[in-house]
């Protein structure tokens, strides 16, 4: 999940905006006599569109903890279905050694992934946001859904869990229990494994975006095929998730988990943010040939509405600023220097904090 940026707002604007939003909603309500529920959802989405801290915290709590959040999500889902009846991107599937990965384009810029063992026709879905869309792909492929791997609780990653459970009664739901994942049946801890057919996943605990965020590493197998990382909202092509529920140190250690994976590992993130992220990367690291080349390629792909996943961990280390926290280039660009007594990890956390802050206030220019 991501909310519009721009945290900078002076203090007086907060009550003003709150009052204005409330009045707007009240007017709408009086005019059209809508139900109370609709009014609350409208109010929530208005607050969600702002990012001033106190208001945002309230909206975030409503979004993640209440039924209202779920209804807000369902409305977004309906809108996205109307706006993108054929999905926001055309996804290409990848098949290696009889294991097939299909990115499913859902909502406005979100991805779920279906992973199939073609020999036994069993499947796992990562982050089913929209149950209807996922079900359609399951039927098209003629496979049995055995497990849902959920990276975190945000509705745009977990909103389809219960709907799919209803349709597939034996389907297991995996995730970390600290994250209140809907329909969770099999709680996971760091480095637990999940096996379905010939597919072997390792769950890695990576808090920061949420307290219980997990990523899933699909083992490439004995044949030396590359492994695949399903990174949810931890890492995107050239980006990283917002630190809603964790400090920079927590997030840093989760990012270090990703950096420690082998360079050939394929990266399958939860959102299509490549273009925007690479533009931000250009701001903080203007001279980087790898980034420029990737950006050209991404523009070509997006011009045809093609999906930009997967990249590889090796590639990401060349241009993703969030995996380049240790580089002198980035320190210089951000104007940061390690103090003589400062611990290396603490310094890197400080770099990440500043980098994330800049990304939060960075505006799309298109």
Ligand X SMILES: *[C@@H]1O[C@H](CO)[C@@H](O)[C@H](O)[C@H]1NC(C)=O
Q: How far is the CB of 288 from Zn ion (least distance, A)?
A: 27
Separation of alpha carbons 285 and 298, rounded Å: 18
Residue 271 contact, options Zn ion, ligand X, none, Cβ 5-8 Å cut-off depending on partner type: ligand X
Two tokens, residue 323: 């995996």
Among 50, 154, 356, 359, binds Zn ion (CB under 5 A): 154
Taking CB under 5 A as the binding criterion, the range among 25-33, 141-149, 153-161, 281-289 that sits at the site for Zn ion is: 153-161
Two tokens, residue 209: 């975006």
Q: Which is nearer to ligand X, 245 or 318 (CB)?
A: 245
Q: How many residues bind Zn ion (CB under 5 A)?
A: 3
Applying CB under 5 A, does 1 fall inside the site for Zn ion? Answer: yes
Q: Which of 3, 11, 39 is nearest to 23 (CA)?
A: 39
Q: How far is the CB of 245 from ligand X (least distance, A)?
A: 13
Catalytic residue from among 117, 127, 130, 156:
156
Q: How far is the CB of 202 from ligand X (least distance, A)?
A: 12
Q: How far is the CB of 280 from ligand X (least distance, A)?
A: 14
Q: Which is nearer to ligand X, 122 or 205 (CB)?
A: 205
Q: What are phi and psi of 305, to 5 degrees?
A: 55, 35
Taking CB under 5 A as the binding criterion, the range among 1-9, 137-145, 174-182, 299-307 that sits at the site for Zn ion is: 1-9
Catalytic residue from among 88, 117, 130, 209:
209
| 152 counts as catalytic | yes
Residue 176 contact, options Zn ion, ligand X, none, Cβ 5-8 Å cut-off depending on partner type: ligand X
Among 130, 146, 233, 285, binds Zn ion (CB under 5 A): 233
Binding site for ligand X (CB under 6 A): 1-2, 73, 76-77, 80, 107-110, 155-156, 176-178, 187, 189-190, 205, 212, 271
Two tokens, residue 334: 């951000």
Separation of alpha carbons 261 and 44, rounded Å: 39
Catalytic residue from among 88, 152, 213, 331:
152
Residue 312 contact, options Zn ion, ligand X, none, Cβ 5-8 Å cut-off depending on partner type: none
Residue 205 contact, options ligand X, Zn ion, none, Cβ 5-8 Å cut-off depending on partner type: ligand X
Q: How far is the CB of 210 from ligand X (least distance, A)?
A: 11
Distances (CA, A) of 88 to 107, 109, 114, 301, 306: 7, 6, 17, 13, 9
Catalytic residue from among 88, 117, 154, 168:
154
| 271 counts as catalytic | yes
Applying CB under 5 A, does 179 fall inside the site for Zn ion? Answer: no
Taking phi first (over 0 means left), then psi (-120 to 50 degrees means alpha), and beta for anything else, what does residue 192 get?
beta
Residue 233 contact, options Zn ion, ligand X, none, Cβ 5-8 Å cut-off depending on partner type: Zn ion
Separation of alpha carbons 161 and 158, rounded Å: 6
Q: Which is nearer to Zn ion, 88 or 154 (CB)?
A: 154
Binding track, positions 97-136, relative to Zn ion; x by CB under 5 A: ----------------------------------------
Angle at 355 between CA 206 and CA 277, to 5 degrees: 80
| 209 counts as catalytic | yes
Residue 134 contact, options ligand X, Zn ion, none, Cβ 5-8 Å cut-off depending on partner type: none
Residue 295 contact, options Zn ion, ligand X, none, Cβ 5-8 Å cut-off depending on partner type: none
Two tokens, residue 229: 């990382």
Active-site annotation, residues = 152, 154, 156-157, 209, 233, 271
Site residues for Zn ion per CB under 5 A: 1, 154, 233
């Amino acid at each position: 999940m991501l909310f519009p940026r721009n945290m900078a707002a002076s203090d007086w604007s907060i009550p003003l905006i709150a009052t204005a939003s409330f009045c707007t909603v009240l007017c709408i309500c009086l005019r059209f006599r809508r139900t109370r529920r609709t009014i609350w959802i409208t109010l929530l989405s208005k607050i969600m569109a702002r990012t001033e801290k106190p208001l945002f915290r309230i909206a975030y709590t409503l979004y993640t903890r209440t039924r209202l959040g779920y209804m807000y999500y369902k409305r977004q889902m309906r809108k996205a279905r109307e706006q993108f009846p054929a999905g926001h991107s055309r996804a290409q599937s990848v098949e290696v050694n009889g294991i097939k990965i299909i990115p499913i384009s859902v909502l406005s810029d979100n991805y779920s992934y279906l992973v199939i063992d073609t020999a036994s026709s069993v499947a796992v879905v990562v982050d089913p946001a929209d149950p209807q869309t996922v079900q359609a792909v399951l039927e098209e492929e003629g496979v049995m859904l055995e497990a849902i791997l959920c990276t975190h609780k945000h509705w745009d990653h977990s909103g389809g869990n219960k709907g799919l459970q209803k349709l597939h009664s034996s389907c297991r739901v995996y995730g970390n229990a600290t994250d209140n994942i809907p329909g969770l049946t099999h709680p996971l801890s760091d480095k637990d494994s999940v096996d379905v057919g010939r597919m072997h996943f390792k769950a890695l605990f990576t808090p920061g975006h949420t307290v219980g965020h997990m990523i899933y590493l699909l083992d490439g197998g004995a044949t030396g095929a590359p492994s695949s990382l399903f990174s949810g909202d931890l890492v995107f092509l050239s980006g990283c998730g917002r630190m809603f529920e964790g400090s920079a140190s927590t997030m840093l250690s989760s990012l270090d988990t990703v950096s420690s994976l082998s360079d050939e590992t394929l990266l399958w993130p939860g959102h299509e943010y490549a273009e925007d992220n690479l533009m931000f990367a250009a701001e903080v690291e203007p001279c980087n040939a790898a980034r420029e080349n990737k950006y050209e390629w991404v523009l070509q792909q997006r011009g045809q509405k093609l999906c930009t996943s997967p990249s590889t961990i090796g590639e990401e280390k060349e241009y993703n600023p969030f995996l380049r926290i240790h580089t002198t280039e980035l320190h210089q660009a951000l104007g940061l220097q390690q103090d003589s007594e400062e611990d290396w990890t603490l310094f890197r956390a400080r770099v990440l904090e500043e980098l994330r802050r800049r990304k939060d206030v960075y505006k799309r220019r298109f």
